[in-house]
Amino acid sequence: MQFQRSISSICIKVCIFIYILNLLHACSIAGENEGIIEYDIEFNEEERKKNEIIDLLPKTMKYYFKNKSSVSEISYMGVFRTAYISNFQDKTNTILFYFMPNKYYCTTNFGEKTIGYDPMPGIQLEETGETKDIKGIKAYRVRVTFEDKSQEPYDVWYTKDFKVHNPNWHTPYKEINGVLLDYRIKMKGISMHMTLNKFSEEVVDTAKFQIQKSYKKVSPKEMDEIFDKHLNMF
């Protein structure tokens, strides 16, 4: 009887151990394949003095990824929303723009010009081989310089920990094959410094990657004009 109790106890402990291992593995897979990254947005002070609309823009951005696709979204109180949906299955990039009450979207194929991002002519990206920990995530350093030496160089940090297919193809950093954690972009003349705030291994609703029927489809030229119109309201 004592022997049977010992065997039963060992079996229970083994089962518990296997359960914990499976649970840890499941958490690891969730973090690699889907999750939410939140970035802080820092704006350029000199640009802020000249452009009043910058004070109205949100100070955070959320990046959702699932099944190798991703969504970058900036929104504010149900009044304003802009999102970039990179759909790996369809090989498309969709830009959504909402400014109450109007909703628009524009879809382009991988490799075509992306609306919104300002070009960075003469940009040069150099992998340094340096790494550091950013909020518990292993990050790799890239040195950014320009052919125009009047533009100051800076560093970009990215991670290989998340499985997002070609995450930067629609940005000036398309050569970097990893999710950006600390980087700079310029959209319609507005400079933004994006830095990782937090990461959560949440299940992402597939609806995030879909276009709601309430959005009106427009051409790339029309979407460009819509952006310009709203950014020049003040």
| Structure tokens belonging to residue 124 | 């040069």
What's the pTM?
0.78
The whole-number average pLDDT for the span 20-38 is 51
pLDDT at residue number 1 = 52
- Cα(140)–Cα(180) distance, rounded to whole angstroms? 9
Q: Does the residue 6 lie in any domain? A: no
The whole-number average pLDDT for the span 206-228 is 88
Q: Does the residue 198 lie in any domain? A: yes
Q: Does the residue 2 lie in any domain? A: no
Instruction: For 46-71, write each residue's pLDDT tens digit.
Output: 888 888 878 878 899 999 988 878 89
Domain CATH code at residue 128: 2.50.20
Three-state SS string across 126-169, please? EEEEEEEEECCEEEEEEEEEECCCCCCCEEEEEECCCCECCCCC
Q: Does the residue 24 lie in any domain? A: no
pLDDT at residue number 32 = 55
Structural domain boundaries enclosing 218: 30-231
